[in-house]
Structure 1
């Protein structure tokens, strides 16, 4: 495809990945405002919102994977996308698990480690989604 203009389906796929990136940026904002070590009602609401947004991002990502599978993408592009898809999917699963464990953490060190792990997953996930957007939006 090279310098060709994106067709409607490719444009839609590009927009879906960019929307997932926006969702991820919101997730990162929520995580940044989650106070380590304080399980008051405000923090519990933030945690609930964080889990809810993660579930929405997972659903959006599954839609992206289905759209990629149906799209007529060059084999070379598909092969470059595959590792990003795999790693993004893995990071989403690990993020969900870490978010489920976080409320049970009692020690400040455990909370700090969980926050750091969540931040790492979010940062890595953003990199994989950005790489997917770069591949899909620059066809």
Structure 2
């Protein structure tokens, strides 16, 4: 976010920003560093501003509700938006039921490694829920 030059003021300039958007060159390096060019072209015309509320507000999760969902984490090992260290910290602080790692994937494995992501999602779907 520090590198974003495009802050969005959905509630007016006198209020705090509500979202942000990276420049196209930044998005390519952050999100799509391993993705095919044709997929990047499609993604670029589909990108929308990222809302700041979910990023900036403190999230409070309870075991009674959040803890009842079966969660898995797909770690993208060549991600420039969320480094592997940051992803590992997220996993440590809120352990999921399993971690699946995709080597050679950027932030968007549905573009950079779609077959492997599909295989992982099918595997997750077949895991029995307790």
TM-score of the pair, normalised by structure 2: 0.26
Higher relative contact order (CA 8 A, sep 6+): 1
Which is strand-richer, 1 or 2? Answer: 2
